[in-house]
């Protein structure tokens, strides 16, 4: 019924009033969250969202309308509203929006590879049992641990997308995730450790097997012990030194200081009223000739990555998932784009940049925007042990605890949960409250080692904010441990 | 949108069906919003849309087990599935904390003033474009480009529970934000919000952003390099910057859950003087200049709460379940059902004002002082001491000998907010700061805060520093 009702809009008399239209239908989007805190089930939630969003281009301007009630009359009303918005905006559309042509029509179907459907093949009781077992192990890990949290989150979204060019795509996207954290307290000192990542763990496009593969129970004792040890650790010293970042932290560094900076809509200024701009606006003509990092830095945008949180079959403009170079041997060679921004890029530079499958919306009532997919640092060579062995003096930081970056993505500051001092090629004492800061280009140009494939890990980032009304997108990242020369580090405590 | 009568009928029917399903206690929230948004960048429209959201949230408690479910599918089948999911048994009953008796009875809570304006809800696409065209024309007059966001909309919210609560409220909001830029160095921001589009002071919004932009255009950029890794400056913070600090302070430090779990700077220190004597902070949903909410997301009536009186910590905020767990009383600060694991957060902050204008603060600055209009991407570095970092944006100025000498590059601060609030020397007149673009629904909240002058704030970097 969804298909018929909305297809009829794209072939009826209304379509003649617009230059282009697409319809994104979410017949079903289920999300489940379970949270166990200090041995008690604190949260068990299930949400179900349905609806559709209609985007039209008329007179060189966009209009959008959404609705969660699908009957023919409501759908027509929504379409008319979208046209009304576009026509009103067309009065000041200068220059008019144009879409980069794509080969079509596109016909596609995609389902997240999934061994164990978290909604139909795993019972609620089984999930709760696993979390309670994890909690028990966390409880036994340290007497100083006062707070323990373990959680799971699952999502299944059906999505149908069609446009006025005759394209039609159906997708079923499944996500599974889990994580745990402990807080140890001693008087005024509070220390936290998490696994597999902070802010409720790791999420990927996969079934329940993704959660099982994390082996939460195997890491419970370690994070409890580390949280306790941090209470008695020395603060990270204020100094400039070589910095080794573990993949969980490096992923967020990639996200903030590369990912957002290379979003082409942001480069053109469309996020100035919320998320900010990009320092690359001044370098738009320099694609291919702009040095972003050292020759060891190779960054790829890949929406086909197995289990990546930014993995799908087609974006919300019907462009098939793909893998593209963004930074090759330190040179900026690619950007994240859409049909509109690719056209704009061509207009401004005279050069082609194909739309590369980055347009996504979080919900049916939000417009698609350029979003990261899976943006990762390709592995280099060697193991972490070898890298540490080759480091005379430095600090190794792991697991993000705080982040901040300016609106043009230049000046950043990150805190991590834990650090270790490296002296003469050996990991020595633990350090608490570490943080580091720097400038984007200096930082990436200081990269002097990237570990090999055996150390490479990927992490989902489920809270990437952009757009108004706000959208919290799910994107993925990956990295091996990497070393950066002479970075300013310090302690997050008070002076 | 559904009428109030239709909402009451829907809520009553859902509660009746929950009771039939055998629950001991039940709570249902209906929340519907309708919002028109137009965004422009550099004088061009990037988005113009209408969104409508309507959701039912259901909480079902049976024995010790509690389940929560939400749906936007409000058809017969959707509601049936909602009840099934909320009442579904997990097993492991012993692992649930007994839930307290739901708060109630509360009925027909009347707002202390009008919150709903039909003209704000029904603003047409053409009217939005007309206002946006004005922003473009205005900015062109000053050889600037305008990126704007105009939002108008409203919502109706109803809550029913098995303890006899039945409350329904309706509200509208309009908000205009501007960023004026030029090709090189200027970036100036201003924003205003109101529950009534007629009271949205667009002229003042234009004026504030334009003054900031012209100041940046007309004065030479001051190359400010920090001495060493950090430098301390007296600062004058505009209301947007103050709101960002105060809201972060409140969500981390004045959240009852964080307080009880010893993660707050207030933990164990109630009735102690933690801020300067000139700091009085309230949560006041009735405040004249703020946006008004008559009840929280559990339906508990809202009232003024004193958080700090002359720098002394007086209270923190609770919802009913956190309050019960720690033998306290709900202060009317419950979050939406799915967010309750985060505790309870004050969302109508009022920081008592003073008599100093920003101009007087500038004139009083003999020492080098920074005037900061706004922050970007502020985040908590250490919650126990409420240590924050973030960047300045959209106009940061250096003041010498009582005069603004020019704009400086954006700067990174690293500061404990409670410590900074012990060093406030001058306080201005408060105004509403409201950002309607959160990830939740459109909701009448916001902070009413004044500009502040603060001694010796720590800065640790600049966007002009270091870069090759």
Interface check for A64 against chain B (CB to CB < 8 A): the answer is yes
Distances (CA, A) of A393 to A222, A240, A244, A421, A426: 25, 11, 10, 8, 9
Of A264, A286, A416, nearest to A336 (Cα)?
A264
The band of A383, judged by pLDDT with boundaries at 50, 70 and 90, is very high
**330-349 in chain B: CB under 8 A from chain A:** 337-338, 340-341
Chain B nearest CA to A294, separation (Å) = 13
ipTM, two decimals: 0.94
Chain A nearest CA to B282, separation (Å) = 26
Tell if the CB–CB gap between A43 and B68 is shorter than 8 Å. Answer: yes
Q: Which of B85-99, B135-149, B186-200, B343-357 has the lowest mean pLDDT?
A: B85-99
Per residue in A276-332, pLDDT (tens digit) is 999 999 999 999 999 999 999 999 999 999 999 999 999 999 999 999 999 999 999
* pLDDT for residue B228: 77
pLDDT at position A108 over 90: yes
Partner residue facing B129 (CB), from A92, A270, A273: A92
pLDDT at position A237 over 50: yes
- The pair of structure tokens assigned to A484 is 């950066």
The band of B467, judged by pLDDT with boundaries at 50, 70 and 90, is very low
CB A181 within 8 A of CB A223: yes
CB A234 within 8 A of CB A228: no
Residue showing tokens 């580390």: A226
Answer positive or negative: Cα dihedral of B258, B264, B269, B274. Answer: negative
Partner residue facing A402 (CB), from B43, B379, B416: B379
d(CA B408, CA B12) in angstroms, rounded, equals 59
d(CA A176, CA A116) in angstroms, rounded, equals 10
Average pLDDT over residues A93-112: 94
Which residue of chain A comes nearest to B439, CA vs CA? A470
- The pair of structure tokens assigned to A435 is 């943080």
Q: Where are the alpha helices (DSSP H) in B190-237?
A: 202-218
Average pLDDT over residues A139-151: 95
Q: DSSP label at A259?
A: I
Interface check for B45 against chain A (CB to CB < 8 A): the answer is yes
Tell if the CB–CB gap between B95 and A41 is shorter than 8 Å. Answer: yes
Average pLDDT over residues B268-286: 97
Tell if the CB–CB gap between B377 and A89 is shorter than 8 Å. Answer: no
Per residue in A340-351, pLDDT (tens digit) is 999 999 999 999
Higher pLDDT, A186 or A159: A159
Of B240, B404, B418, B204, nearest to B312 (Cα)?
B418
d(CA A256, CA A414) in angstroms, rounded, equals 10
pLDDT at position B362 over 90: yes
Residues of chain B in contact with residue A365, where contact means CB-CB under 8 angstroms, are 51-53
* pLDDT for residue B468: 34
Tell if the CB–CB gap between B125 and A85 is shorter than 8 Å. Answer: yes
Q: Where are the alpha helices (DSSP H) in A244-338?
A: 247-254, 264-268
pLDDT at position B180 over 60: yes
Tell if the CB–CB gap between A402 and B380 is shorter than 8 Å. Answer: yes
Q: DSSP label at A164?
A: T
pLDDT at position A188 over 90: no
The three-state secondary structure class of A188 is coil
Interface check for B38 against chain A (CB to CB < 8 A): the answer is yes
Q: What is the dihedral of CA A68, A70, A74, A80, to 10 degrees?
A: 80
CB A364 within 8 A of CB A372: no
Average pLDDT over residues B75-90: 91
The band of A158, judged by pLDDT with boundaries at 50, 70 and 90, is very high
pLDDT at position B438 over 70: no
pLDDT at position B316 over 50: yes
Residue A417 backbone phi and psi in degrees, to 5:
-70, -35
pLDDT at position B465 over 80: no
- Do you know the residue count of chain B? 468
> Can you give the pTM of this predicted structure?
0.96
Which residue of chain B comes nearest to A291, CA vs CA? B468
Higher pLDDT, B230 or B280: B280
Q: How far is C-alpha A432 from the geometric centre of its chain's CA atoms?
A: 27
Partner residue facing B39 (CB), from A69, A185, A468: A468
Average pLDDT over residues B238-263: 96
Q: What percent of chain B is modeled with pLDDT above 70?
A: 98
The per-type count for chain A, helices as H runs and strands as E runs, is: 10, 25
Residues of chain B in contact with residue A41, where contact means CB-CB under 8 angstroms, are 66, 90, 92, 95-96
Interface check for B68 against chain A (CB to CB < 8 A): the answer is yes
Residues of chain B in contact with residue A92, where contact means CB-CB under 8 angstroms, are 43-45, 129, 132-133, 136
The band of B226, judged by pLDDT with boundaries at 50, 70 and 90, is confident
* pLDDT for residue A256: 98
Chain B nearest CA to A386, separation (Å) = 30
Helix/strand/coil percentages in chain B, nearest 5: 25, 35, 40
Q: Which of A7-16, B131-140, B155-164 has the lowest mean pLDDT?
A: A7-16
* pLDDT for residue B439: 47
Residue A332 has, within 13 A of its CA and on its CB side, a CA count of: 20
The band of B466, judged by pLDDT with boundaries at 50, 70 and 90, is very low
Question: Where is B418: in which H helix or E strand?
Answer: helix B417-420
* pLDDT for residue B437: 62
Average pLDDT over residues A250-267: 98
Q: Which of A210-219, A354-363, A414-423, B98-107 has the lowest mean pLDDT?
A: B98-107
Chain B nearest CA to A265, separation (Å) = 10
**70-89 in chain B: CB under 8 A from chain A:** 70-74, 78, 81-82, 85-86, 88
Chain A nearest CA to B72, separation (Å) = 5
Q: How far is C-alpha A48 from the geometric centre of its chain's CA atoms?
A: 22
Per residue in B138-177, pLDDT (tens digit) is 999 999 999 999 999 999 999 999 999 999 999 999 999 9
Answer positive or negative: Cα dihedral of A96, A102, A108, A111. Answer: negative
Average pLDDT over residues A460-467: 94
* pLDDT for residue B27: 97
């Amino acid at each position: 019924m969804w298909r018929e009702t909305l297809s009829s809009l794209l072939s009826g008399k209304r379509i003649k009033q617009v230059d282009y239209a697409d319809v994104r239908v979410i017949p079903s989007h289920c999300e489940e969250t379970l949270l166990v805190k200090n041995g008690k089930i604190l949260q068990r939630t299930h949400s179900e969202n349905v609806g559709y969003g209609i985007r039209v281009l008329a007179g060189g301007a966009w209009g959008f309308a959404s609705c969660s009630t699908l009957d023919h009359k409501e759908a027509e009303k929504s379409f008319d509203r979208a046209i009304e918005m576009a026509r009103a905006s067309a009065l000041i559309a200068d220059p008019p929006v144009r879409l980069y042509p794509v080969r079509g029509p596109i016909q596609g179907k995609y389902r997240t590879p999934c061994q164990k459907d978290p909604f139909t093949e795993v019972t609620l009781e089984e999930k709760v049992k696993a979390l309670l077992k994890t909690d028990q192990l966390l409880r036994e890990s340290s007497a100083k641990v006062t707070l323990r949290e373990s959680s799971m989150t699952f999502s299944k979204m059906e999505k149908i997308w069609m446009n006025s060019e005759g394209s039609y795509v159906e997708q079923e996207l499944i996500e599974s995730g889990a994580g745990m954290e402990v807080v140890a307290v001693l008087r005024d000192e509070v220390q936290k450790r998490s696994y597999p990542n902070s802010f409720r763990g790791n999420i990927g496009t996969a079934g329940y097997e993704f959660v099982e593969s994390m082996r939460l129970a195997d890491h419970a004792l370690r994070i409890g012990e580390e949280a306790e040890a941090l209470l008695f650790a020395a603060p990270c010293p204020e100094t400039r030194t070589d910095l080794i970042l573990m993949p969980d932290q490096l992923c967020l560094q990639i996200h903030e200081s590369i990912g957002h900076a290379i979003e082409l809509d942001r480069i053109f200024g469309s996020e100035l009223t919320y998320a900010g701009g990009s320092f690359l606006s001044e370098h738009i003509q320099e694609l291919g000739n702009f040095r972003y990092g050292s020759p060891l830095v190779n960054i790829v945008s890949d929406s086909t990555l197995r289990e990546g949180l930014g993995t799908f079959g087609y974006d919300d403009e019907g462009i098939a998932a793909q893998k593209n170079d963004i930074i090759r041997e330190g040179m900026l060679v690619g950007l994240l784009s859409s049909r509109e921004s690719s056209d704009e890029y061509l207009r401004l530079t005279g050069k082609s940049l194909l739309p590369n499958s980055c347009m996504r919306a979080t919900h049916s009532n939000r417009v698609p925007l350029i979003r990261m997919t899976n943006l990762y640092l390709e592995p280099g060579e060697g193991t972490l042990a070898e890298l540490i062995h080759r480091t005379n003096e430095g600090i190794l930081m792991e697991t993000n605890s705080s982040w901040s970056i300016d609106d043009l993505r230049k000046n950043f500051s990150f805190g991590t949960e834990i650090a270790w001092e490296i002296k003469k090629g050996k990991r020595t004492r633990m350090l608490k409250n570490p943080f580091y800061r720097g400038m984007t280009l200096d930082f990436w140009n200081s990269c002097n080692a990237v570990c090999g494939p055996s150390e490479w890990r990927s992490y989902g980032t489920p809270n990437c904010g952009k757009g108004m009304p706000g959208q919290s997108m799910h994107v993925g990242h990956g990295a091996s441990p990497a070393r950066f020369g002479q970075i300013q580090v310090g302690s997050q405590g008070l002076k | 949108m559904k009428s109030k009568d239709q909402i009451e009928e829907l809520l009553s029917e859902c509660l009746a069906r929950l009771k039939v399903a055998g629950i001991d206690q039940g709570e249902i929230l209906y929340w519907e919003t309708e919002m028109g948004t137009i965004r422009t960048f550099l004088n061009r429209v990037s988005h113009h849309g209408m969104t409508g959201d309507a959701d039912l949230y259901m909480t079902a408690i049976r024995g010790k087990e509690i389940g929560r479910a939400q749906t936007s599918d409000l058809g017969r089948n959707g509601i049936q599935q909602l009840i099934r999911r909320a009442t579904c048994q997990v097993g492991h009953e012993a692992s649930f904390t007994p839930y307290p008796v739901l708060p109630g009875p509360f009925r027909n809570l009347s707002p202390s003033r009008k919150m709903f304006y039909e003209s704000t809800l029904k603003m047409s696409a053409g009217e939005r474009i007309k206002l946006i065209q004005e922003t473009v024309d205005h900015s062109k007059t000053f050889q600037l480009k305008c990126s704007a966001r105009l939002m108008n909309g409203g919502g109706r919210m109803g809550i029913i529970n098995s303890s006899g609560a039945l409350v329904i409220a309706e509200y509208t909001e309009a908000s205009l934000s501007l960023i004026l830029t030029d090709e090189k160095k200027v970036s100036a921001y201003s924003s205003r919000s109101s529950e009534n589009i007629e009271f949205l002071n667009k002229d003042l919004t234009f004026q504030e952003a334009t003054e900031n932009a012209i100041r940046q255009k007309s004065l030479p950029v001051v190359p400010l390099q920090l001495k060493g890794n950090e430098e301390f400056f007296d600062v004058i913070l505009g209301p947007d910057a103050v709101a960002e600090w105060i809201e972060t302070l409140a969500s981390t430090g004045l959240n009852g859950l964080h307080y009880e779990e010893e993660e707050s700077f207030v933990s164990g220190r109630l009735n102690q003087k933690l801020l300067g004597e000139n700091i009085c902070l309230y949560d006041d949903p009735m405040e004249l200049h703020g946006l008004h909410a008559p009840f929280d997301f559990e339906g508990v009536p809202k009232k003024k709460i004193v958080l700090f009186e002359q720098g002394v910590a007086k209270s923190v905020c609770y919802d009913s379940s956190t309050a019960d767990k720690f033998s306290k009383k709900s202060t009317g600060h419950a979050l939406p059902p799915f967010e309750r694991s985060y505790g309870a957060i004050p969302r109508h902050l009022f920081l008592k004002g003073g008599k100093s204008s920003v101009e007087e603060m500038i004139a009083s600055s003999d020492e080098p002082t920074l005037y900061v209009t706004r922050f970007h991407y502020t985040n908590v570095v250490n919650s126990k001491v409420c240590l924050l970092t973030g960047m300045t944006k959209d106009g940061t100025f250096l003041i010498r000998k009582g005069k603004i000498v020019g704009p400086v590059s954006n700067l990174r601060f690293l500061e404990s907010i409670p410590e900074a609030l012990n060093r406030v020397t001058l306080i201005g007149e408060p105004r509403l700061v409201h950002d309607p673009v959160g990830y939740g629904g459109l909701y009448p909240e916001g902070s009413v805060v004044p500009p502040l002058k603060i001694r010796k704030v720590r800065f640790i970097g600049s966007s002009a520093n270091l870069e090759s």
